[in-house]
Structure 1
Amino acid sequence: MSVLKSLWAAGVARNAVFMADYAVNPLGVKSDTAIATVVEQWVEAAQKEADVLIFACNTLSIRYQQLTDSRNVPGLSQIISMVNCFTAMVECERERLVNQRVLIIGTTFTASQPIYCDILTDNVPGVVVSSVAATALERVIARFEPWETESNEVITSDLRRALESTDVAVLACTCFPMAMAQLKLLFPRVRFLDPGEYCARLLEDRAEEEKNELRVRVTGHVVETQRVTDFASWWLGAGRVTS
């Protein structure tokens, strides 16, 4: 949802389908094989409903990049992953990241993979990169569950310690930008970056629609469709949201 908000703010992707795939949540703790299966499911779903597929999930994006660097998918004119967005972010922020301590906050899978560290160290002089998994934070945000900013169950000791020891934190889970305000209050010295904010510039077809329209698709039984559509209407602020 955070990626879509950034796209709409840029005046693009106004006619969108958002798949809230709760049938596989939390995805970041599953096996490589299971994640690869979900990649294929998303591609197949996109072929039926869209022209462009945006993997607005870092876990799926990294696994997609591992499976294939590039391929033509019938019915899809473009596929954008969060790895592409991360790369665009590094290109834009390069000068401000020089000699900085950068923390990658993601799911267990994302935090365990070297790709984001490699992109940073290959492009930014003097950068020091670390990563931390924040599965509990992802879970409560994705499921719209209430949480206290001082809760050690959500902001774990590992996450808190990592944030207290960094200059920049990259929110490498697309749920996390929805908690950015709380994170900034807790860690005011840290600069938070959202790779999803760099997605709009990657779209090859930037034709603008007159109105924002979103169709929500929900899988699984963890969260009701109405709850997702209600949140989307509130979070996005403008546009027609249906299911």
Structure 2
Amino acid sequence: MQPPSADAPILFFDSGLGGLTVLGPTRALLPTARIVYAADYAGLPYGQKSDAELAARVPALLGRLVERYQPRLAVIACNTASTIALAHVRAALDLPIVGTVPAIKPAAALTKSGVIGVLGTEATVRQPYVDDLSAKFAADKIVLRHGSPGLVTGAEAKLRGEPVDPEVIERAIAGLRDQPGGEAMDVIVLACTHFPLLQAELQATAGPDVRFIDGAEGIARRIAYLTEGQDWPAVASPGTAVFTRSDERPPPPLAALEPFGIGRIETI
């Protein structure tokens, strides 16, 4: 394969704006990389879709995006899409694909009490992939799971400058803590890229004795490793955000995306 040109972008893909939490650490490591950030607003929320629907939708949409933007690498910055469709995407596309999986391994190393919470979408927390991660890295721990679709809506609202419903935050934490053993939980895995956008609110409700962890830093390091030695632009340029067209959900104002290095919005 020919090495990519310096202008070839990194493509980030998510159902909405949660993948911005992965984009941030990546830009810190690769500050001049050209960025295309794609959000499937027409399909949001992914957490309430069937596995079969996502296994078909995600590879097809990523195929269109790869054809249009010719990225050097694609990042599925969405736990739900990764746990369901990552293998399908890798089979369909001829370029490196980085997925996002719940950070259960580092959580198991952090916990002192032996009780870990996994907070994700309904689709993510029911996946056998989470069973496998728990068995492999946390077999001697108690791993509690809770699916919270309201946190995705809350994170999207927060980025738009709208208030976050405190009851959504309280229900999410209670969904873990009210399970047997939940009172001893001292680490929570944020198993949805949207959820770190609400970490301050979640921390205030969970209390200072609970640590939160997500996989964004590890994903950024993986992207840097896979692109090591490749050419990059000499100077940074504003990235492009691409939204699938939705009558119910227009793209956010550009001002909400500019702190993440986005300078242009497109719809497809």
> TM-score, normalising length from structure 1?
0.82
- Which of 76, 79, 100 is 1:82 aligned to? 100
Q: Which deviates further from its counterpart, 37-46 or 191-200? A: 37-46
**65 and 13 in structure 1: CA distance in 2 versus 1, 3 angstrom threshold:** farther
**14 and 213 in structure 1: CA distance in 2 versus 1, 3 angstrom threshold:** farther
| Residue 25 of structure 1: how far off its partner (Å) | 0.9
- Which of 197, 201, 204 is 2:217 aligned to? 197
Q: Which deviates further from its counterpart, 55-64 or 138-147? A: 138-147
Higher Cα radius of gyration: 2
- Secondary structure at the counterpart of residue 91 of structure 2: coil
Verify the 8 A CA contact 1:163 1:190 in the aligned structure 2.
no
Aligned match of 1:214: 239
- Which of 170, 176, 196 is 1:162 aligned to? 176
Whether 1:103 and 2:114 are equivalent positions in the alignment is no
Runs of 4+ in 1 over 4 A off after TM superposition: 89-94
- Which of 146, 149, 158 is 2:163 aligned to? 146
Verify the 8 A CA contact 1:167 1:191 in the aligned structure 2.
yes
Aligned match of 1:6: 25
Whether 1:56 and 2:77 are equivalent positions in the alignment is yes
Aligned match of 2:258: 233
Q: Distance in 2 between matches of 1:213 and 1:120?
A: 39
Verify the 8 A CA contact 2:190 2:196 in the aligned structure 1.
yes
| Residue 129 of structure 1: how far off its partner (Å) | 0.9
- Secondary structure at the counterpart of residue 98 of structure 2: strand
Q: Distance in 2 between matches of 1:155 and 1:240?
A: 28
Q: Distance in 1 between matches of 2:199 and 2:36?
A: 24
Whether 1:223 and 2:223 are equivalent positions in the alignment is no
**17 and 181 in structure 1: CA distance in 2 versus 1, 3 angstrom threshold:** same
Q: Distance in 2 between matches of 1:120 and 1:98?
A: 16
Aligned match of 1:180: 199
- Secondary structure at the counterpart of residue 118 of structure 2: strand
Matched residues, number? 229
Verify the 8 A CA contact 1:28 1:107 in the aligned structure 2.
yes
**116 and 97 in structure 1: CA distance in 2 versus 1, 3 angstrom threshold:** farther
For structure 1, the 5+ residue unaligned runs are none
**13 and 36 in structure 1: CA distance in 2 versus 1, 3 angstrom threshold:** farther
> TM-score, normalising length from structure 2?
0.75
Verify the 8 A CA contact 2:104 2:189 in the aligned structure 1.
no
Q: Distance in 1 between matches of 2:262 and 2:151?
A: 29
For structure 2, the 5+ residue unaligned runs are 1-19
Percent identity reads 24
Letter of the 2:99 partner, please give it.
Answer: S
Q: Distance in 2 between matches of 1:47 and 1:31?
A: 24
- Which of 132, 141, 146 is 1:118 aligned to? 132
**42 and 198 in structure 1: CA distance in 2 versus 1, 3 angstrom threshold:** farther
Whether 1:32 and 2:64 are equivalent positions in the alignment is no
